[in-house]
Amino acid sequence: MAEDTKTQQSENQDSSNSDLSSPEYRKYSSIVTEGVERAPSRGMLYAVGFEKHDFQKPQIGIASTWGMVTPCNMHIDKLSEFATQGVNEAGAKAVPFNTITVSDGISMGTEGMKYSLVSREVIADSIETVVGCMGYDGVVTLGGCDKNMPGCLIALARLNRPAVFVYGGTIMPGLSGDKELDIVSIFEAVGAHANQKIDDTELDTIESKAIPGPGSCGGMYTANTMASAIEALGMSLPNSSAQSAISKAKELDCRNAGAAVVNLIQKGIRPSDIMTRKAFENAITVVITLGGSTNAVLHLLAIAHSIGVPLAIDDFTEIGKRVPVLADVKPSGKFLMNDLIKIGGLMPLMRTLLDAGMLHGDCLTVTGQTVAENLKDVKPYPVGQQVIRPLDNPIKKESHLVILYGNLASQGAVAKISGKEGEHFSGTAKVYNSEEEALQRILDGTVVKGDVIVIRYEGPKGAPGMREMLAPTSAVMGKGLGKEVALITDGRFSGGSHGFVIGHVTPEAYEGGVIAIVEDGDPIVIDGQTRQLTLNIPESEIQKRLDAWQKPDPRYTRGVLAKYAKSVSSASQGAVTD
């Protein structure tokens, strides 16, 4: 079982007796600490716990995303202590530091959610800043919530120094009687309450019991999706993605990560050696088989951009044509990440994919070994388990992540089509210029069967910040309209969203995309098989409306959101800022 898996350092890491004081292992720290002229630097480091012999060791930055602002990260300060121990025990010198995190789940549906995707860039910038300034020779990053995980990887890619990512781990399920709950249970309960399916007492019970303690949201939402993608990418230790936040396995994972980064320094292995084109193909394959979040498209594009690997949204289509969905997990399925942990985690799935020729086994990983070497002794899932389907009996034969084009999305859009909601939807537009307005109209019954909800001016530049739409999509499900309406937006979706939903519509409304000129009652056709998103009105009418359209004033003119809006790229390019 994954929780009992103990990654043996002697198996996966080279415990050589190389002299760590060698200059080749202190390429960056020696610039800061060596020589008479660096005496002031050493003097300050004595004050933070250095001893004389520590200056002859590689220095490893331990970047923690701890904060009490969210259960996803409330325990990461303790995990960073285990990573620190692992570094120090391996003969290097660990230097812990902290960066920010924000909570998607708490800010969802509010103006504050505009800072969520922005936080990915702030985190990447801050880790790069500290490591670059202080001259660390290697890095361990620990992340738990949606945006700090890709933020960590973007920083590691930019720095390109030996590094390991550690996932903070998934939350245990909440319980109400014998019913398992999670964060999406609460969001959908809001819709059910509006539809008078549950009363105040039941809503209170669900909200008070769904989140029992530390860890990231429990389904195959963005955090667990990205943790799995990062493991498949080779940047975290085997089964790091499939451990509970408060487990002994996670503590050991952190200690082993500390030792692993020292091994990477000794072997001269950098992120650019690991995060290759083939490695990104592995990550995309695993995300698809797990039925993962649409946010993986945005984040993998951004990470690839940072490491200099060509990757485009159309690559998700090409890989998706030959990769099935196998995991029966929430939000579209039955099971939680905790159920995947119980049957062995991610590694048996990766072994299955490797044996079927769907993974590149020669990709290097942070163990210092290849994917194939890491998986060579992995046993299959237990007979009778129902979480992961066999390859010959998939949930969906092709990817659920569908890249759509058409006159509404000439540069692409990302749909999450599990097949349960069908592959085709035709309806008439109900148009809203903000998430809040749309949510109210869903809850009060204005949105009805046959509507295509259009939420615009929520893109990277227009919001700014590209808010997630978990509140409206959950309200749709709670109102019982999951198969009766569709929703399109230039914003994005939480990994917890499900139903007939299309996000990342580009060009976005603020940049004059066709979504900006859709009107109430316009016919819209969504076709998952032909991968088309069409505003079904004459091209002459579209051009007439575009000619009359005027770009709105920016919503923010000062501060981080204004800076972000000026620098961010299109969602189809990963919403990157460099």
Q: What is the mean pLDDT of residues 276-285?
A: 98
What is the per-residue pLDDT for 18? 63
What is the per-residue pLDDT for 421? 65
What is the per-residue pLDDT for 483? 87
Scanning the structure block, which residue is given the tokens 């890709």? Answer: 150
- Where do runs of H (alpha helix) occur along 480-575? 539-548, 559-567
What is the per-residue pLDDT for 16? 43
Q: Which two tokens stand for residue 174?
A: 């909440």
State the catalytic residue, choosing from 494, 497, 570, 572. Answer: 494
Q: What is the mean pLDDT of residues 137-143?
A: 98
Scanning the structure block, which residue is given the tokens 């098989």? Answer: 529
Running DSSP on this structure, what letter comes out for residue 138?
E
Is pLDDT at 2 greater than 50 in this prediction? no
Q: Which two tokens stand for residue 540?
A: 């002459």
DSSP for 267-295, please give it.
HT--HHHHS-HHHHHHHHHHHHHTT--TH
Please report, as a single letter, which amino acid is at residue 6. K
How far is residue 510's CA from residue 461's CA, in Å, rounded to a whole number?
7
Check the CA dihedral 349-350-355-358 and report its sign. positive
- Predicted confidence band of residue 213 (pLDDT cuts 50, 70, 90): very high
The answer to whether 345 and 243 have CB atoms below 8 angstroms apart is yes
Q: Which two tokens stand for residue 4?
A: 């009992």
How far is residue 394's CA from residue 58's CA, in Å, rounded to a whole number?
47
Within 10 A of 309 (CB to CB), how many other CB atoms are there?
Answer: 17
Provide CB contacts within 8 A for 521, sequence distance 6+. Answer: 428, 429
117-131, 281-295, 480-494: lowest mean pLDDT where? 480-494
What is the per-residue pLDDT for 183? 83
**Mean pLDDT, the chain, whole residue set:** 93
- Predicted confidence band of residue 10 (pLDDT cuts 50, 70, 90): very low
Percent of the chain with pLDDT over 70: 96
What is the per-residue pLDDT for 495? 65
Residue 412 region, left (φ>0) first, then alpha (ψ -120 to 50), else beta? left
The tens digit of pLDDT for each residue in 365-388 reads 999 999 999 999 999 999 999 999
The tens digit of pLDDT for each residue in 86-101 reads 999 999 999 999 999 9
φ and ψ of 431, to 5 deg: -105, 135
The tens digit of pLDDT for each residue in 507-560 reads 999 999 999 999 999 999 999 889 999 999 999 999 999 999 999 999 999 999
How far is residue 137's CA from residue 192's CA, in Å, rounded to a whole number?
52
Is-catalytic flag, 494? Answer: yes
Scanning the structure block, which residue is given the tokens 């009652």? Answer: 521
Collapsing DSSP to helix, strand or coil, 319 comes out as helix
Alpha-carbon torsion, ordered 533, 538, 544, 547, to 10 deg: 30
Is pLDDT at 142 greater than 80 in this prediction? yes
Collapsing DSSP to helix, strand or coil, 325 comes out as strand
The tens digit of pLDDT for each residue in 471-517 reads 888 888 888 888 899 999 999 987 666 678 899 999 999 999 999 99
What is the per-residue pLDDT for 145? 85
What is the per-residue pLDDT for 496? 62
What is the per-residue pLDDT for 50? 98
Q: Which two tokens stand for residue 125?
A: 């910038």
The tens digit of pLDDT for each residue in 55-87 reads 999 999 999 999 999 999 999 999 999 999 999
What is the per-residue pLDDT for 416? 86
Inter-helix orientation angle 347-355/277-289, to 10°: 110
Alpha-carbon torsion, ordered 391, 283, 311, 532, to 10 deg: 40
Query: Residue 414: which H helix or E strand, with range?
Result: strand 409-416
Q: Which two tokens stand for residue 526?
A: 């969504």
Residue 308 region, left (φ>0) first, then alpha (ψ -120 to 50), else beta? left
- Predicted confidence band of residue 146 (pLDDT cuts 50, 70, 90): confident
How far is residue 255's CA from residue 234's CA, in Å, rounded to a whole number?
18
Q: Which two tokens stand for residue 555?
A: 């919503």
Is pLDDT at 9 greater than 50 in this prediction? no
DSSP for 24-89, please give it.
GG-TTHHHHH-SGGGHHHHHHHHHTT--GGGGGS-EEEEEE---TT-TTTTTHHHHHHHHHHHHHH
